[in-house]
């Protein structure tokens, strides 16, 4: 089979996307809330379901997007108003969750900073040796008390 890649193993023979695709963190994984959709994307989510119901054989995302864009441009401001309102509500929810997310991340940073500084005292060599000597003495005392 000259000219064709051997695709016997999964993933082999495929070209990898350039630019580090797949390295992006998901919104949930990073702790940040997902950005709210615009009015058009709120409309798209409803339109996509209607379009799939009317055209079950369609597998092309491009056709759905083109049809949605044409319909959105032909709609009047009154027709777009419910989608704009939903998008505004989602934006308010996003702002609230963003504020709580920022507070949570700040708390996590403070905890981490405290955790780091607690161990700093033992990095000083003189303090570390003093602490180890104290631990030896404490162990001896505990052994003597247990006898």
The CATH number for 132's domain is 1.10.30.10
In a domain, 15, yes or no: no
Query: How far apart, in whole angstroms, are the C-alpha atoms of residue 55 and residue 63?
Result: 11
pLDDT tens, 64-94? 999 999 999 999 999 999 999 999 999 999 9
In a domain, 19, yes or no: no
Q: Give the global pTM.
A: 0.56
Burial 16-34 (b: 16+ CB within 10 A, else e): eeeeeeeeeeeeeeeeebe
Question: Which residues lie below 8 Å from residue 68, measured CB to CB, with a gap of 6+?
Answer: 43, 44, 47, 48, 51
Task: Look at residue 95 in the predicted model and tell me its pLDDT.
Answer: 94
In a domain, 11, yes or no: no
In this predicted model, which residue has the larger pLDDT, 81 or 25? 81
Query: Which whole-number Å values give the CA distances from 56 to 51, 66, 93, in the listed order?
Result: 8, 16, 34
In a domain, 1, yes or no: no
Domain count, the chain: 1
Q: Confidence band (pLDDT; 50, 70, 90) for 130?
A: confident
Its domain, for residue 45, covers 34-141
């Amino acid at each position: 089979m000259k000219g064709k890649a051997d695709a016997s193993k999964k993933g082999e023979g495929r070209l990898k996307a350039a630019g580090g695709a797949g390295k992006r963190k998901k919104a949930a994984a990073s702790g940040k809330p997902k950005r709210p959709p615009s009015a058009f994307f709120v409309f798209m989510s409803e339109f996509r379901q209607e379009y799939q119901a009317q055209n079950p054989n369609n597998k092309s995302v491009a056709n759905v997007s083109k049809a949605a864009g044409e319909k959105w441009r032909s709609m009047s401001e009154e027709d777009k108003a419910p989608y704009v309102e939903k998008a505004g509500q989602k934006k308010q929810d996003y702002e609230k969750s963003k504020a709580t997310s920022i507070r949570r991340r700040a708390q996590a940073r403070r905890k981490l900073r405290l955790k780091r500084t607690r161990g700093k005292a033992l990095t000083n060599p003189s303090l570390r040796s003093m602490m180890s000597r104290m631990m030896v003495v404490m162990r001896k005392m505990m052994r003597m008390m247990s006898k």
